[in-house]
Amino acid sequence: MKLILLGAPGSGKGTQAAYISEKYDLPHISTGEIFRENIKEMTPLGVKVKAVMDTGNLCPDDLTVELVKERLSKPDCKNGYLLDGFPRNIYQASALDEIDAPDKVINLDIDLSKIEHRITGRRSCAKCNGSYHVDFIGNVNTCPNCGSELTIRKDDTVEVVKERLAVYEVQTAPLIDYYKAQGKLVNVDGDKSIKEVFDEIVKVLG
C-alpha cells in the first residue's frame, strides 16, 4: 500500500502516521522529520534548509524530491510507503507520480481556525520523536513516552504558524483537487479525537 497523508500543519498527520505505520507495517516517511534530523546533526543538507524552515516556508523542491526519491529506493519501501508532509505542492506531486505513484491519499480535514491553538500547544521530544499537546499531558515538560525533556519546535511560534498556514493554503491545498481528479482522495474528519480519527482511517483503508 502506497499512502499519502495530506493536511494542514497541525492537522495530526504525524500522530496518525505513527499509528498507521505500525498497524499496516509501512515505513513512515516524514520529510519534516528528515529535515529536522539533518538540522540537528548539522549536515550539509541541514545547513542548507535551516533558514527557510525557520521562517515556515518550503525547502527547495529539487532537493526535497531528490531526498524522497532516494528514501523510496530503500528496501523497506518494497511493499509500500506512508508519506507525511510530502508532496506539498503540485510540482512535488507530479514528481512523485513519476517516481512511484500513491494508491490512496488521506486528507485530514480540520477547522483551520483551530490550528494556531493546536500548534502553539505542541511539545516535542527530541529523543523518541513523540509529539503531544499540552492540553492532554499532565507534565508539560516531560515526555510521557520516554521521560525526556519536551521542547517547542522552532517553527511552532505564532508568527511562523501564520506563514506555514499561508503556504499551506496557496501551495498544498490544491493537492486536494489534484488527487480528487485521480480518484485517490479520501477525506477524514480530523477534528475528532486521535482515536476516532484513526478508527475512521482504518475503516477507509479497509
Catalytic residue annotation: 13, 88, 122, 153, 164
| Cis before 60? omega within 30 | no
By CB under 6 A, which span of 38-46, 53-61, 73-81, 184-192 interacts with ligand ADP? 53-61
Assess 31 for contact with ligand ADP (CB under 6 A): yes
Residue with cell 490550528: 115
Q: Angle at which helices 31-40 and 44-55 pack, to 10 degrees?
A: 120
Q: How far is the CB of 52 from ligand ADP (least distance, A)?
A: 6
CA distance 94 to 27: 21
Q: Which of residues 64-83 bind ligand ADP (CB under 6 A)?
A: 64
Q: Which of residues 137-166 bind ligand ADP (CB under 6 A)?
A: 155, 164
Assess 56 for contact with ligand ADP (CB under 6 A): yes
Helix (H) or strand (E) holding 24: helix 13-24
Quick check: 12 and 110 in contact, CB under 8 A? yes
Q: How far is the CB of 139 from Zn ion (least distance, A)?
A: 12
Quick check: 125 and 140 in contact, CB under 8 A? no
Q: How far is the CB of 123 from Zn ion (least distance, A)?
A: 10
Q: Which of the choices ligand ADP, Zn ion, none does residue 13 contact, using the CB cut-off of 5 to 8 A by kind? A: ligand ADP
Q: Based on CB atoms, which residue is closest to ligand ADP, 88 or 123?
A: 88
